[in-house]
Amino acid sequence: MSNYRTDKTDVIIREMHQEDVDAVSGIEKTIYAFPWTAGNFTDCLTSGYRCHVLIRNDMLAAYGVQMPIMDEMHLLNLSVASEFQKLGIGKVLLNFLATDAVRHKASKMILEVRRTNLAAIFLYESSGFNQIGLRKNYYPASDCREDAIVMEMSL
């Protein structure tokens, strides 16, 4: 188990375990119109992806899932429970995931984000990500499909 603590926000970041999946998928359902299922998180754990949770005041407040491919770390999921958003937690977890990616010999992080998700895009840009592409109609949406912006950060 890898623990991480930052004085600034008084949080602990540790590896996600199967026992966390109910809480994680519970948060997921409340913040996404098209959430990952509990099975998706279990698959990530069993596939050996880098899965972490952030604990604040003994509550699971945020989580991140990264998939290593060669020297790239693909950020598949970064989520903060709604009651903990805009407190700096997303930024702290993203910084931790970048450090974790470096530790695992990645030279870059790559992610996709809905082009309308301005909060996430702002977070990624302010953390050093740049847009490197666009995937047309990548995501499901309520009445059509939505484009994904592909972003990359050198580590």
Q: Which of 6, 9, 72, 91 binds ligand COA (CB under 6 A)?
A: 91
Cβ-contact 13, 94 below 8 angstroms? no
Categorise residue 123: left if φ over 0, alpha if ψ from -120 to 50, beta otherwise: alpha
Q: Where does this chain touch ligand COA (CB under 6 A) — which range of 37-45, 52-60, 72-80, 136-144? A: 72-80
Sheet arrangement for strand 50-56: 4-6, 11-15, 50-56, 59-69, 72-80, 108-114, 145-154, 130-140
**Smallest separation, CB 145 to ligand COA (Å):** 16
**Smallest separation, CB 6 to ligand COA (Å):** 12
The number of residues that bind ligand COA (CB under 6 A) is: 19
Q: Catalytic: 112?
A: yes
For residue 109, state whether it binds ligand COA (rule: CB under 6 A): no
Q: Which of 53, 106, 113, 153 binds ligand COA (CB under 6 A)?
A: 113
* Residues tagged active-site: 112, 124
